[in-house]
Amino acid sequence: MTTLNNLNKIDAITKEKIAKWQSNSFDQDTNKTLTALIEEGKEDELIDSFYKDLEFGTGGLRGIMGVGSNRINKYTIGMATQGLSNYLKANFPNEQIKVAIAHDSRNNSDKFAKITAEVFSANGIKVYFFSALRPTPELSFAIRHFNCHSGVVLTASHNPKEYNGYKAYWNDGAQMIAPHDKNVITEVQKITQVSDVKFTPNTSLIQEVGSELDELYTNQIASLSISKEAIQRQKNLKIVFTPIHGTGITVVPLALAKMGFTNVTIVEEQSIPDGNFPTVIYPNPEEADAMSLAVKKAKAIDADLVLATDPDADRVGIAVKNDKNEWQLLNGNQTGTLLLHYMIKAWKDSNKINGKQFIVKTIVTSYLMDKIAEANGVNCYNTLTGFKYIAAKIKELEGIEQFIAGGEESYGYLVGDAVRDKDAVAACAFIAEMTASAKDKGISIYDTLREIYVKYGFYKEKLISLTKKGKSGAEEIQELMKNLRNTPPTLLAGSRVTKMMDYDNHLETNLVNNSTSKIDLPKENVLQFLTEDGSLISARPSGTEPKIKFYVSVNTSLPKKEDFDAIDNTLNQKIDQIIKDLNL
C-alpha cells in the first residue's frame, strides 16, 4: 500500500502540510479523501493541493474546491475568516464590528457562506447575512448601506464549475487593497492549526437580509437614469436577458423594470441558478458559447439587445445587430467604450461637465476611452488591473472630483458610486438605456460604435490567455515574464518598440535612448510595450487563475463608416502579426 513516505516527487515541506491535514482536527470526509489520494499515488494532485496556501489576488481568495491548503474548502474558508476577524478586531477596537455576507449560485457557495457567517459571529462580529443568493455588487451596496466594517461574497465569478472563491471587502464597499489584503493574509498565516478557528456560531449576531435590500439597490440604480423620456418612448425595446444560471435573475429584471423597460425576455434554459452550469462550458459572457442561447432567442423574437451576466452578476456581455442585420457579440472594450461615451455625452448635453468630472479604467483597457474623455473635458485615470483599484481611485477623489463611470476590458463596468465594485446590474440598466436612447434617435448601437471610431480613432484589441496549471505552470509563467523583462521585443508588426513599462519595478524605460522615469502606481507584475505606431502590448499573469494574459491593442484612423470592414481587416492582420512576433 502506498504511503505518504513512498511518494518521492513530494518535497518534505509539502509532506509536512499533508500530514497535518491527516490529523483528528479535520473531519472524516477530509481524511478519507486525503487517504485515497495518497493510496492511489496521485502525487501531482497532492502537490498542487498543498504546495502553497491560497492568497488574495485581484479577486480575493479563489481556487479549485477540494482538500488541501491550496484548495477552497471549509478549513481554508474558516482560516481566512478567522484571520479577517482578528484583523478587524485589531483595526476597530472597542467597536461592534459589522460585516455583510452574500453568495452566488456555485456548488457549495451557500455552505461556505454559512461557515463564514458562523466564524464571524463566533468572534463576536455582527453579520448581515443574505438569506438567498445575490449579486456581488449588491453585497458592496449592503456594506455601505449597513455601515459595515467589512464584507465577504462567496463566488468564483466566471470561472469553471470546479472553482469557488472568497472575495473580501473593506468598509468602503470595495475589495481589499494594500495594506489590508496582505495584512489579512499575515493574520491567516498566524493560524497554524484548525483549532485556532472559532467555528461555533453565536446565532444571535446573525441577521438575515431579504428582498427589502433589492428594492433599495435597484431604486438607487434607477435614480441615476438620464434619458427617462427616451426610455418612455422606447419602453417596448425588445431585450433578451440571460443570467447564465447565476444571481442576475434575482435583480436584473427588477432593475430593468424600474428603469421603465416593459419587454424583457428571459432565456428560460439558463434562468434557474445552478452551480453545474449545465448549458455552457464556461459560465462566462466573454465566451460565444455562453451567449449562444440568448442570441438564438434574440433572433427568434427579433430583439434589439442581448444582455448576459456571469454567475455573481458583476460582469455583463452584450450582443447587438450589425450593419448587415446579423447578431454580433461586442467585446469588453467595445461595450465599455459605448457605455462611457454615452454617459460622458449625456452629462455634457446636460451642461454638467466643468472639468471636475472623471472616469476610471485599467491600464490594459482601451485607450480610446482616454481620448473620448479628454475631448469632452473629463479626466481619465488609469489604474492597475482589478476593480479594487478603480474603487480606490473613486475613494481618493471623493469630494474633489465627481465620478461618472468606470470600466475594464474584462466586461466589468460601474455607473455611479453607491457600489464600489463592477456592477453588471447597473450596467445592464444603462446599456439598455443607451440602446433606447440611440433607437430614439434612429441609430443603432453598432452604428454608434462606428461613429465613435470615425471621430476618435479605430482601436482594436485582442486578449490571448495561456493556461499553465499547477506548480510547474506557475514556474513557467515566472520564466516567461523574466525573459520578456530581460530581453524585451525590439520590433512588433514592423514597428519599433520604443517604451517598456515595468510595473513590478515602477520603471518606464525609453528603449530608444535608455532614459527612465518612475511609474506612480502600486507594484504589480505587469509589463507593457509601446511601439512607434501606437500599438500597446501588455503581459500580465492572472491574479485569480493559472494563466498569463497578453493584451494587444492597435489603432488607426477610420475616414468614414463605410471603410469599417476594410480597416477592421487590416487591424486584425496587424494583431495576428504581433502575436506571431511574440511567439504566442
What pLDDT is recorded for position 516? 97
- Pick 408 or 57 by higher pLDDT: 408
**pTM as predicted:** 0.94
Is 113 within 8 Å of 154 (Cβ atoms)? Answer: yes
Once rounded to an integer, what is the mean pLDDT over residues 139-167? 96
What pLDDT is recorded for position 471? 79
What pLDDT is recorded for position 56? 67
Q: Where are the domains of the chain?
A: 1-51, 73-210, 216-456, 460-581
Is 507 within 8 Å of 526 (Cβ atoms)? Answer: no
**Span 489-525, pLDDT tens digits:** 999 999 999 999 999 999 999 999 999 999 999 999 9
**Span 208-228, pLDDT tens digits:** 999 999 999 999 999 999 999
457 to each of 320, 376, 538, how far by Cα in Å?
Answer: 21, 15, 20
Q: Give the rounded percent of residues in the chain with a pLDDT score beyond 70.
A: 98
What pLDDT is recorded for position 186? 83
Residue by residue, DSSP assigns 125-183 as -EEEEESS---HHHHHHHHHHTT-SEEEEE--TTS-TTEEEEEEE-TTSSB--TTHHHH
**Span 314-325, pLDDT tens digits:** 999 999 999 999
What pLDDT is recorded for position 229? 97
Least confident of 109-123, 142-156, 278-292, 531-545: 531-545
What pLDDT is recorded for position 365? 98
Once rounded to an integer, what is the mean pLDDT over residues 390-419? 97
Tell me whether residue 157 is one of the annotated catalytic residues: yes
**pLDDT exceeds 80 at position 15:** yes
**Helix and strand element counts for the chain (H, E):** 18, 23
Q: Give the rounded percent of residues in the chain with a pLDDT score beyond 90.
A: 86
- What pairing do the DSSP bridges indicate for beta strands 402-408 and 357-362? parallel
What pLDDT is recorded for position 149? 98
**Mean of the per-residue pLDDT values of the chain:** 95
**Span 446-497, pLDDT tens digits:** 999 999 999 999 999 999 999 988 878 888 999 999 999 999 999 999 999 9
**pLDDT exceeds 90 at position 187:** no
Once rounded to an integer, what is the mean pLDDT over residues 6-24? 88
Strand ranges (DSSP E) for 149-273?
150-154, 163-169, 206-209, 239-242, 264-266
Once rounded to an integer, what is the mean pLDDT over residues 40-64? 84
Is 60 within 8 Å of 150 (Cβ atoms)? Answer: no
Residue 531: beta bridge partners? 497
Confidence band (pLDDT; 50, 70, 90) for 544?
low
**pLDDT exceeds 80 at position 297:** yes
The CATH number of 73-210 is 3.40.120.10
Domain 216-456 -> CATH class: alpha beta
216-456 against 460-581: fold identical: no
What pLDDT is recorded for position 338? 98
**pLDDT exceeds 60 at position 58:** no
The CATH number of 460-581 is 3.30.310
Confidence band (pLDDT; 50, 70, 90) for 57?
low
**Cα 113 to Cα 120: distance, rounded to the nearest angstrom:** 11
**pLDDT exceeds 90 at position 292:** yes
Query: Which residues are CB-contacts of 550 (< 8 A; sequence separation ≥ 6)?
Result: 463, 464, 465, 466, 537, 538, 539, 540, 579, 582, 584
**Span 68-93, pLDDT tens digits:** 999 999 999 999 899 999 999 999 99
**Cα 413 to Cα 337: distance, rounded to the nearest angstrom:** 10
**pLDDT exceeds 60 at position 268:** yes
Phi/psi-derived region of residue 567, left when phi > 0, alpha when psi is between -120 and 50, beta in every other case: alpha
Neighbours of 442 (CB within 10 A): 7
Catalytic, out of 157, 366, 437, 495: 157
**Cα 518 to Cα 508: distance, rounded to the nearest angstrom:** 6
What pLDDT is recorded for position 284? 95
Phi/psi-derived region of residue 517, left when phi > 0, alpha when psi is between -120 and 50, beta in every other case: beta
